[in-house]
Amino acid sequence: MDAKQEILKLKDGESWTWPESDYGRAEIWYKYGTYFLFEIPQFGGQSMYSCSFCESNIDGLILKVNSWT
């Protein structure tokens, strides 16, 4: 399943970790119609808040995560 489908499945208060490595690449929380994006450090550790997106801008969220190297 692709990232967009996984994100769309989130219900209020749920999160999804975008896989890329053993630790993940990003953590996405859905709350009150807003997606909160947290960046996971390359070698694991505490995720850091990056930004938030309204539910109509999932493509923007995906572009943001894909811009991370």
The string of pLDDT tens digits covering residues 7-33 is 999 999 999 998 865 556 899 999 999
pLDDT of residue 69: 65
Neighbours of 65 (CB within 10 A): 17
- Its domain, for residue 42, covers 3-67
pLDDT of residue 23: 57
Number of domains in the chain: 1
- Residue 54 reports pLDDT greater than 60: yes
pLDDT of residue 68: 84
Half-sphere exposure of 8 (CA within 13 A, CB side): 9
Query: pLDDT tens, 34-50?
Result: 999 999 887 777 899 99
